[in-house]
Structure 1
Amino acid sequence: MSRFGDPTRPAVVALGGGHGLSASLSALRLMTDRITAVVTVADDGGSSGRLRDEMGVLPPGDLRMALSALCDDSEWGRTWRDLLQHRFATAGPLDQHSVGNLLIVALWELLGDTVEGLDLVGRLLGARGRVLPMASVPLRIEADVRTADGQRQVVRGQTQVAVTEHRIEQLRIHPVDPPACAEAVAAVREADWVVLGPGSWYSSVLPHLLVPQLRAALLETTARIVVVLNLSPDDETAGMRTVDHLAVLRAHAPRLPVHAVVADPLTLDDVGELSELCAAMGSRLLVRQVRRGDQSAVHDPLRLAAALRDVVEDYLGDVGTRAGRATGSGDTQE
């Protein structure tokens, strides 16, 4: 028996935000129903930013998207998902507010408990898993950037970091020591696997490593950590190669144990360097086509699920081989 208990239902924690996290959740739900999404809470734009500023709540948008990605695949679940994602288009104050954002914030007001409110929306959707914020308070992202003429500048706010044209050198959050969501920390510590990425690297993925309690859980968990790399650069990573994404992750969390890295072959302009860095980190590089068949820069849930399943099965196979060798009953051929 592996350390996972039932290998067909691993407990998986997915970290991220926005469309990237939705992509990983859409794949993971094909593998297991023991899913916890831990979502960034730094959004300061759009409907989420308006509700955050007006009501002092966590920005609900990325949490809503994660819940929608985990909805039950039935008429009931899909209908409530579509309702949550529906945006008003008016000339008044409701313009571009999503129904789901308003529903989530209303439940937070009614129940007085962020996690309980999210769990209730999950029950409404028949969600295949749980959605939690990474911190209990809204966060602000701040980045040191280097301009083309070599000048250093500071960019503040997730929306500004996400669209910066300058090379990001360092990332910070405010407050610097926010209270982590206790349930999220517990989920990471108890997980079998943790999936980091894909998504906006600086504004959605890396912030999880900057919340001290969550970072400690990631460094101390016995879970195996998998990094899923993006299919294409976005504004905040323009000019970065595939290997640079992994190098930045290592620079912000040098002791983070990464078991495997999943990359699509069409993104690999530096496969040699990426392989060397993975080896230096003690990680396996798994190159698989995980984008849609039309070659667009969108993850295909079935293909990504197959790649992640390969990662899990490879590891379980290694564990079984080592166990067999230890008892003298396994294959001893290298």
Structure 2
Amino acid sequence: MASHIVAGRQQARRRGAPRITALGGGQGLSASLRALRRLTGDLTAVVTVADDGGSSGRLRAELGVLPPGDLRKALAALCGDDDWGRTWSEVIQHRFQSDGELHGHAVGNLLIVALWEKLGDPVEALEYVGRLLGAHGRVLPMSAVPLDIEATVRGLDPEDPELLSTVRGQAEVAVTPGEVESVRLLPHDPPAVPEAVAAVREADWVVLGPGSWFTSVLPHLLVPDLRDALVQTRSRKVLALNLVAQPGETEGFSPQRHLEVLGAHAPELTVDFVLANAGTVADPEALRSAAKRLGAELVLDNVAAPDGSSGRHDPELLAAAYDRIFRMHGRIAPWR
């Protein structure tokens, strides 16, 4: 493991900060990481690897590599707020604009793939990138093989709204106009990255979500070793809900419907706390009941960005909400 990561984790342990593992992908995981890096130096992100669109999809199709985009976003979110961190965060997120083959590619995607080809180890390569960026934590793929998402969708045929159809590919599932009933991964039962399994088992706290529910959050529950780790870990688990339903993928879903879908995909999974934004929950009691069915206590807090219209979490408010949960309930999962 890179020396800066070891040093950061050792320093966090000395301060009594919690060991946190966050799972997800895309913008939702990035928001969570920007919040959590304010609370600990011992932070691990476990990221979905099923993206098949944009720059990631092109690199995946051409080179047969894991899609790097969500991994890049997680690394950018872990960059510090100093000049070094801000600069590198912007650099790896920069996309080329041209009339040629480089158009749309993100610098960070190319950097990650280059290190994968040089080192032959996706975990080691991501630690090299993290060291370069001065990332406040480590980033791991949930699986070492590229995955595809396949969904069962209701209502794609306007003449038969109850007809079930199959939609394949993360990019297509994310924008489907039908109602997603369930998702699965291809290949079925993919192998988990061992370091990701260990990070879940060894954490004080595991944070799942927020993020695109069917394409960023639920896929972690479809990797057998990772699901088993989530079920069996002694870590306390926080499930962070989105502020609003996502157009296409979860359009029309209530907050409690998100929990019901999660329970259907992993019936044996329990969580300790469900965190939701107080200002966007229309029926707190219904959500509280749904949380209780997962074994969880509902925590309502103000975590939305001040503009109120972006549907995004505010990193500082989200950090404060996580911190209150960790501190109030630290007696349940004592920080090592």
SS in 2 for 1:30: coil
Cα distance between partner residues in 2 of 1:299 and 1:8: 26
Go from structure 1 to structure 2 and tell me whether the alpha carbon gap of 1:9 and 1:318 turns closer, same or farther (over 3 Å shift).
closer
* Contact 2:39 2:319 (C-alpha < 8 Å) held by counterparts: yes
**1:233 CA drift (Å):** 1.1
Match of 1:231 in 2: 243
Q: State which of 139, 143, 151 in structure 2 corresponds to 1:131.
A: 139
- The equivalent position to 2:22 in structure 1, one of 8, 11, 14, is 14
Q: CA deviation at 1:112?
A: 1.0
Q: Identify unmatched segments of 5+ residues in structure 1.
A: 321-334
C-alpha displacement of 1:316: 2.1
**Of 38, 42, 49, which aligns to 2:57?**
49
Counterparts of 1:292 and 1:89, CA distance in 2? 30
The 1-side partners of 2:328 and 2:89 are apart by 34
**2:231 corresponding residue in structure 1:** 219
Contact 2:235 2:333 in 1 (8 A): no
Corresponding residue for residue 327 of structure 2: 313
The answer for the alignment partner of 1:104 in structure 2 is 112
- Which of 163, 173, 177 is the aligned partner of 2:175? 163
| Matched-pair contact (CA < 8 Å) for 1:39–1:63 | yes
Normalised to the residue count of structure 2, the TM-score between the two structures is 0.91
2:291 pairs with 1:275 = no
Helix, strand or coil for the counterpart of 1:316? coil
Equivalent residue for 2:195? Answer: 183
Query: Residue 143 of structure 1 aligns to a residue in which SS?
Result: strand
- Which amino acid in structure 2 is aligned with residue 316 of structure 1? G
Letter in structure 1 aligned against 2:272:
H
Q: Deviations over 1:186-243 (max 9, x none)?
A: 1111011110000000010000000011111111111111000001111200011111
Moved more, 120-129 or 174-183: 174-183
The CA deviation string for residues 132-176 of structure 1, in whole angstroms up to 9 with x for no partner, is 000000000000011161111001000011001111111100111
The residue number in structure 2 matching 1:327 is none
- Is 2:128 aligned against 1:120? yes
Distance in 1, matches of 2:295 and 2:182, equals 24
Correspondence 1:252 to 2:260:
no
User: In structure 2, how many angstroms separate the alpha carbons of the residues matched to 1:314 and 1:283?
Assistant: 15
Task: Provide the secondary structure at the position in 2 that maps to 1:236.
Answer: coil
Distance 1:119 1:317 in 2: 32
- Work out whether residues 242 and 267 of structure 1, in 8 Å CA contact, stay in contact via their aligned partners in 2: no
Q: What is the aligned partner in structure 1 of residue 165 from structure 2?
A: 153
Aligned residues: 317
Q: CA deviation at 1:39?
A: 0.3
CA distance in 2, matches of 1:86, 1:233: 28
CA contact (8 A) 2:22 2:206 kept: yes
Taking every aligned residue pair, what percent have the same amino acid on both sides?
A: 57
Greater Rg, structure 1 or structure 2? 1
What residue number does 1:303 align with?
317
Q: Tell whether the 8 Å contact from 1:8 to 1:31 is kept in structure 2 after alignment.
A: no
Q: Structure 2, unaligned stretches of length 5 or more?
A: 1-11
Cα deviation per residue 1:56-85 (whole Å; 9 max; x = unaligned)? 000000000000000132212221211101
Q: 1:43 to 1:107 in 2, by over 3 A?
A: same
Q: 62, 71, 75: which is aligned to 2:83? A: 75
